[in-house]
Amino acid sequence: MPELPEVETIRRALEREVLGYELQALDVRERVHLLKNCTPQELKRALVGRRLTALGRRGKFLVFEFGPWAVVLHLRMSGRLLLRPAEHTRLVLHFEGKTLYLDDARRFASLYLALAKELGELKPLRQLGIEPLTPSYTWEAFQTLLTSKREIKRLLLDQTQIAGLGNIYACEALFEACIHPKRPARSLTQQEAKRLFEAIPRVLERALEAGGTSFDKYRTPQGELGRFQEEFSVYSREGEPCPRCGAPVKRIVQGRRSSFFCPGCQR
């Protein structure tokens, strides 16, 4: 699933390609799974003939603003926004001279239509937690999250606590901070908490520089691969040596997700 660095990479690429362009036509090829709160007709009426005035991101959601209207899109497991059609086109946005295709093999992507001024009240956005890489990510806010007795790895994946982190970057950040993924959040010492607080944006920034992770279906709108999978310290590296201490990386299952960690240096 695309996580914060992949969604942000897509956002930046699309900003260069279509920001300020007029949407001339729109073709919904999959409405049942994709459109969560509107019909194709309502979507067309709201957007066609308007310019893309802003392109934002909240957690793993992309937010397209067309004047007074906004479209909120989550790519989920296999969604991709491409400048060329691929096999599973679900939505086509015809901008003046440029076409954007939503490709989604598994049909989990979801789209919401909202008034731009009411975006904050839209349910999927309203529930999101603090946003790393923004001023809302403060040491004070982070410490408040850590009063929970939940396992730290599961807490990091909870989008209502921190928005945008997924399995890959949660594993990598815990490795950087030398914290075992099963530790109760509130058992972290001040020093460990501080290390984790700093590791999260650092891992995300590095992934952004690499254009995200192309471990599965993810591609940039231009069809390029991300390169962060080449920099994984623990994720998907079960049995391979830890880059820090050489111990073999272990995999455990937490909440039906794999956690990868080093038993040597993550305590």
Q: Where on the chain is the footprint of Zn ion (CB under 5 A)?
A: 242, 244-245, 247, 262, 264-265
Least distance to Zn ion, CB of residue 174, Å: 12
Which residue among the candidates 15, 107, 257, 263 is catalytic per the annotation? 257
C-beta of 13 vs 203, nearer to Zn ion? 203
Q: What are phi and psi of 143, to 5 degrees?
A: -60, -35
Least distance to Zn ion, CB of residue 41, Å: 56
Least distance to Zn ion, CB of residue 242, Å: 3
C-beta of 142 vs 235, nearer to Zn ion? 235
60 assigned to active site: yes
Tell me the C-alpha distance between 235 and 246, whole Å: 15
Maximum CA pair distance of the chain?
59
Least distance to Zn ion, CB of residue 167, Å: 19
257 assigned to active site: yes
Tokens of 44: 């067309």
- Alpha helix ranges (H) inside the chain: 4-18, 40-47, 123-126, 139-145, 152-157, 167-176, 190-209
Least distance to Zn ion, CB of residue 233, Å: 9
Which residue among the candidates 11, 57, 58, 60 is catalytic per the annotation? 60
Burial class (CB in 10 A: 0-12, 13-18, 19+), 256: exposed
2 assigned to active site: yes
Contacts of 211 (CB under 8 A, 6+ apart): 9, 220, 224, 225, 226, 227, 228
Q: What are phi and psi of 144, to 5 degrees?
A: -65, -40
Tell me the C-alpha distance between 110 and 199, whole Å: 30
C-beta of 25 vs 247, nearer to Zn ion? 247
Answer whether 256's CB lies under 8 Å from 248's CB: no
Q: What are phi and psi of 264, to 5 degrees?
A: -75, -45
C-beta of 163 vs 178, nearer to Zn ion? 178
Active site residues: 2-3, 60, 257
